[in-house]
Amino acid sequence: MGAAAEQDAPLYVVGDVHGHLEELKAALRARDLIDEDAHWSGGRSRLWFLGDFTDRGPDGIGVVELAMSLARESAEAGGSTRMLLGNHEILLLGVFRFGDHPVPVAGGSTTFREIWLRNGGMQSDLERFTDEQADWLAGQPVAAVVDGHLLIHSDSNAYLEYGDTIEEVDGTVADILREPDPLSWWDLFRNLTRRGAFMGEVGPYAAADLLSELGGRRIVHGHTPIPYQTGEDPSTITGPRVYADGQAVNLDGGIYLGGPCLVARLPLTAPEPGVLPSALEETQGREYDLGDLAADAGDE
């Protein structure tokens, strides 16, 4: 089986799931990727998750378990199931490894556990999280190029802080996740919470820059719910959003806001939705709660 054969197999990508296991199963079933019992039925198809399996929804560990079993079953069928790490995987792993170890924020310190709880952490997930699952997650990449698509979790150029090529970026992050250093893990988490790099007037330039460094012709990301970008009602979102002069695709339907679990077959072939004039864009909605105390503490 050479590269040409691989590229003949359908490629599907899933946006942020955030513990919404039943919605994920329904979306994969609708694409005939799993059967009624949630076993792989996608044959040689290639399935990629863009990260953020856990938090903000009821059954994040159920999503991890499903992804791990699909990875096994799809490989046996000649297909594949892969995932990227999102900021919420780094956060959950951080809680698991370093829970109450102090980490710095502007004006003071906080802990992985506090920030996890502030950003939708579910105690029930942490209680079920196993060493095997943690080891599996810690071995996953943060970026990949597949059929000319640069797959990343966050709409951010922060990946370039870890290397100039995709191999360097994934290698540096893998090294960080092998070392028990809570501060470098915390930096990684914070970097992956950044968003909005490909929006607005400079967005197309930032997208082109990231593509020229890491490869691929089009970025496919999650992390920032489409309703945050467009102001749309989450319940009206029906598919991915193409923007940044066609160089970026957002696959985060905003599932925890009432939006859909988006699964897209790439390359996109459906008519692309109208593109907002870039100059009018700005990222809406909430910032990550990183526990910064500076506003309360005043200047040093």
Q: Do residues 12 and 264 lie in contact, with contact meaning Cβ atoms separated by under 8 Å?
A: yes
Contact call for residue 18 and Mn ion (CB under 5 A)? no
86 binds Mn ion (CB under 5 A): yes
Q: Looking at beta carbons only, is 86 or 120 nearer to Mn ion? A: 86
Q: Does 223 bind Mn ion (CB under 5 A)?
A: yes
Helix locations, the chain, DSSP H = 3-8, 21-30, 60-76, 87-98, 112-118, 123-128, 131-138, 166-178, 182-192, 203-214, 226-230, 294-297
Contact between 253 and 226 (Cβ < 8 Å): yes
Query: Contact, 95 vs 129, CB < 8 A?
Result: no
Of 45-53, 109-117, 204-212, 256-264: span binding Mn ion (CB under 5 A): 45-53
On whether the CB atoms of residues 261 and 63 are closer than 8 A, the answer is no
Options 63-71, 109-117, 163-171, 219-227: segment touching Mn ion (CB under 5 A): 219-227
- Provide the minimum distance between the beta carbon of 289 and Mn ion in the complex, in angstroms, as a whole number: 13
One of 52, 59, 89, 281 touching Mn ion (CB under 5 A): 52
How near is the Cβ of 288 to Mn ion at its closest, in Å?
Answer: 9
Shortest approach of Mn ion to residue 169 CB, angstroms?
17
Q: Nearer Cβ to Mn ion, position 87 or 157?
A: 87
For residues 158 and 79, what is the distance between their CA atoms, to the nearest angstrom?
A: 31
Binding site for Mn ion (CB under 5 A): 52, 86-87, 223
